[in-house]
Structure 1
Amino acid sequence: MSALFEELDYRPTPIGALSLRRRRLLALDVDVFEIILGDEHLMSSLFTASEIALAKIGLDACTGDALDVVVGGLGLGYTAKAALDHPRLASLTVVEMLEPVLDWHREGLLPLGAELTADPRCRLEQGDFFALAQGSTGFAGERPPRLLDAILVDIDHTPDALLDERSTAFYATPGLTALADHLKPGGIFGLWSDAREDKAFTNRLGTVFAEAWAEPVTFHNPLQDKPFTQTVYLARKGG
C-alpha cells in the first residue's frame, strides 16, 4: 500500500464484501475514509454535511430534555457524533447490522471511533435495524420496549434505492406505522436520503405521522466543484 491509498480491512458480510479504505487527496490535503460494499461506494468522510444535519435537525425538532435516541446505521459515525454533541442528548443507541463496521470503530481504525466508544451515553449494538423496527422488543432488546424521543435512520441511499431487499417493507405505510410505535407522543422520525425530496414519500409519512416535511441539505462537492443537494425527511408522531 502507498501513502496515497490503503485498504484498512476487507471482509465478507451477509449483503456482500465490505471494504474500508483510506485515500489521500493531494488537491485538498486531506485523508478520506471510504466504505465500499462490493463495487458500490457507501460513504465517504469527504461528504458528511447531511449525515450531521440528520442528527442536528432531528434533535432540534424534539421537545423536552434528556433525549433518548436511536440511530439506525453507524457507518463512519458522523450522525452518532452529531447526536452526542446535541446539548439535550442523554442516551444514544446505535444499531448496526454489519459487524466489521462496529469493529472498525472499536479498534480505532476510524477517526471518530475512540470518541464514540468512550462516551458512556453511547451504546453500539449489532442488529438488524429494520427487523427491530417492526418488532415488539426495543432496539436494545428491552421488553416491553421503551418509547424514544427520536429515531434517526441513515442506511439506504433513498427510500427507493436500497442496499438490501430486506428493508423494502420498512418504507411502506405498515412499516412506518410499526416504527412510529417505538416513539413517544411528539417523538421525531428522521431519515437521510442521497437525493432531492421525493414528495410521494413525504406524503406517505404524512399519512402515518401527525406532521411530515423534508429539509434539503446543500453542500459544495469539491471533487466536481459544484453544489449537491441531499435530503433529511422528518416526521412527528401525534399525541
Structure 2
Amino acid sequence: MDARPMKGARFEELAWRSTPLGEISLRRRIDPALRAEVFEVKLGDEYLMSSLFTVAEVELARLALAARPHGGVDMVVGGLGLGCTADAALADERVRSLIVVDALDDVIGWHRDGLLPLSAAIVADPRCRLVHGDFFALTAGAGFDPDAPARRFHVIAVDIDHSPRHLLSPGHADFYTEEGLRRLRRHLHPGGVFALWSDDPPDAAFTTVLEAVFATSTAHVVTFANPVRGGESSNTVYVAVAAS
C-alpha cells in the first residue's frame, strides 16, 4: 500500500453494527512505524481485510480481465470490501458495466458515505452499480442484475470467503463443488471468465473441481511485501475460462 498523509486521531472506529454473521466494524488507524493511514475491516474478532494488503485484490481484477483479451466486458464482482477489486476493474476501459454484490448493506453504505479512500471514484462511476444481496443465493437463482434476470456476463470475480476451505459461513460450501460452479457458469457468456481470490496456497483438490467445469484453469500465486512481519506473503488467484 502507498503511504497516505497521516491525519486526525491515531485510531477511529468509523462504523460498527451487529449482523447475522457477527459484529462488523470499519476502523481507521495511523501506523507510526509505516507512517501510513490504515483501514481495516473486522468481523467479530477476525480481521477480514486491511488496506496494507491489497495487491492480490487488485490482481484478482487484472488477471480476470487479462483472460478476456478482446471486446467489451460486462463484469460482476462478488464482495465489495475496501473497493480494491472494483476500482481495479473500473480502471480497465474495456469494462462497460460492473455490478458489485455484497451481502452486507453496511459495507455498501460505507462507500456511499465516502468513508474509504476509493469510495468516491467507485460510487461516481456510471458504469458501476452496488447491489445488496447474497452472492451465493444469486448464483443459485436468477442472477446478479436485479433489472435483468438471467443476464449473462463476460467476467465474474469473487473475493468473499478466505478460501474454498476456510469459509465465512458453512452455507457457502456448496458453491465450491462441481454443481455449485456449474450454476455459476450458466451466468457467463461462452468463453467467459471466473476468477477467485484465496488466502491459502493453491489447492489441488479445488483445481480438479475447476477443471471439471471449465475449459481451462490456472492458479496464480501473487506475492507481495508484508509490511507487518517483513519479507513476503502470498495469496492465490484462480482463473478459469468457460468453453467458447
Q: Same fold (TM over 0.5)?
A: yes
- 1:63 is displaced (CA, Å) by 3.9
Contact 1:65 1:89 in 2 (8 A): no
SS at match of 1:12: strand
SS at match of 2:139: helix
- 1:86 is displaced (CA, Å) by 1.2
Residue in structure 2 matched with residue 12 of structure 1 by the alignment: 18
Residue in structure 1 matched with residue 204 of structure 2 by the alignment: 199
Residue in structure 2 matched with residue 84 of structure 1 by the alignment: 90
Percent of aligned pairs with the same residue? 53
Residue in structure 2 matched with residue 59 of structure 1 by the alignment: 65
Pick closer, same or farther for the CA change 1:144–1:11 going to 2, 3 Å.
closer
| Whole-angstrom distance in 1 between the partners of 2:146 and 2:178 | 24
- The number of residue pairs the alignment matches comes to 237
Determine which of 167, 178, 182 is the counterpart of 1:173. Answer: 178
- 1:147 is displaced (CA, Å) by 1.2
SS at match of 1:17: strand
SS at match of 2:194: strand
Residue in structure 1 matched with residue 229 of structure 2 by the alignment: 224
- 1:58 is displaced (CA, Å) by 0.4
Residue in structure 2 matched with residue 43 of structure 1 by the alignment: 49
RMSD of aligned alpha carbons: 1.1
SS at match of 2:19: coil
- 1:36 is displaced (CA, Å) by 0.2
1:13-28 to structure 2, matched below 5 A, reads 13-28=19-34
| Whole-angstrom distance in 1 between the partners of 2:105 and 2:151 | 25
- 1:166 is displaced (CA, Å) by 1.7
User: For structure 1, which runs of at least 5 residues remain unmatched after alignment?
Assistant: none
| Whole-angstrom distance in 2 between the partners of 1:55 and 1:150 | 9
Determine which of 214, 217, 220 is the counterpart of 1:212. Answer: 217
1:22-171 to structure 2, matched below 5 A, reads 22-135=28-141, 137-171=142-176
- 1:141 is displaced (CA, Å) by 2.3
| Whole-angstrom distance in 1 between the partners of 2:223 and 2:149 | 40
Contact 2:31 2:37 in 1 (8 A): yes
Deviating 4+ runs (over 6 angstroms): none
- 1:143 is displaced (CA, Å) by 4.7
Whichever residue aligns with residue 67 of structure 2, its letter is A
| Whole-angstrom distance in 2 between the partners of 1:63 and 1:186 | 11
Whichever residue aligns with residue 186 of structure 1, its letter is G
Give the TM-score of the pair, scaled to structure 2. 0.95
| 1:11-56 CA-partner distances (Å, limit 9, x unpaired) | 0111111010001001111110000000000000110000000000
| Whole-angstrom distance in 1 between the partners of 2:229 and 2:58 | 21
Contact 2:76 2:157 in 1 (8 A): yes
Residue in structure 1 matched with residue 4 of structure 2 by the alignment: none
| Whole-angstrom distance in 2 between the partners of 1:25 and 1:10 | 21
